[in-house]
């Protein structure tokens, strides 16, 4: 703009994006080729933290069974078992999740449906 030029009343800005679901929440996805700083998926991080905490509790012999721990936590034993499986993820996949560097196909919903136990197969799947 040059000096003395009038300022328009309205400015229109077009920003290409799409809304996607990630971890049960809606998020904005940038167009292909655009990069944005990655943030960890809060739902995945929380589930991992719970899984490793529950594993530690079970290994400490504080509770004899998963059912006892689930009762204390106020959750269903089947849910505790599915979350506990997250401790079987390959260490590099866990690290990627904590740093927010996992791929978009790696969601909590997908992990809760089950995943291969072998780390090499996991790496190929995600």
Show the tokens assigned to 116. Answer: 């291969």
Residues 6+ apart with CB under 8 A from 57: 63, 69
Residues 6+ apart with CB under 8 A from 68: none
Say how far residue 12 (Cα) sits from the centre of its chain.
Answer: 35
Please answer whether residues 108 and 43 qualify as being in contact, where contact means their C-beta atoms are separated by less than 8 angstroms.
yes
Q: pLDDT tens digit string along 77-104?
A: 999 999 999 999 999 999 999 999 998 8
- What's the burial of 73, exposed, middle or buried (CB within 10 Å: 0-12/13-18/19+)? middle
Q: pLDDT tens digit string along 33-67?
A: 776 667 889 999 999 999 999 999 999 999 999 99
pLDDT of residue 66: 96
pTM above 0.75, yes or no: no
Please answer whether residues 42 and 23 qualify as being in contact, where contact means their C-beta atoms are separated by less than 8 angstroms.
yes
Please answer whether residues 69 and 57 qualify as being in contact, where contact means their C-beta atoms are separated by less than 8 angstroms.
yes
Please answer whether residues 79 and 64 qualify as being in contact, where contact means their C-beta atoms are separated by less than 8 angstroms.
no
**Euclidean distance between the first and the last CA atom of the chain, given in angstroms as a whole number:** 50
């Amino acid at each position: 703009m040059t000096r003395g030029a009038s300022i328009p009343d309205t400015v229109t800005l077009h920003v290409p994006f799409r809304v996607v679901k990630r971890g049960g929440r809606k998020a904005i996805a940038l167009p292909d080729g655009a990069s944005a700083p990655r943030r960890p998926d809060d739902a995945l991080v929380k589930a991992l933290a719970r899984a490793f905490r529950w594993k530690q509790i079970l290994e400490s012999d504080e509770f004899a069974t998963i059912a006892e721990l689930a009762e204390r936590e106020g959750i269903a034993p089947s849910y505790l078992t599915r979350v506990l499986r997250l401790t079987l993820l390959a260490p590099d996949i866990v690290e990627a999740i904590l740093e927010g560097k996992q791929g978009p196909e790696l969601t909590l919903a997908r992990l809760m449906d089950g995943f291969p136990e072998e780390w090499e197969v996991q790496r190929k799947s995600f």
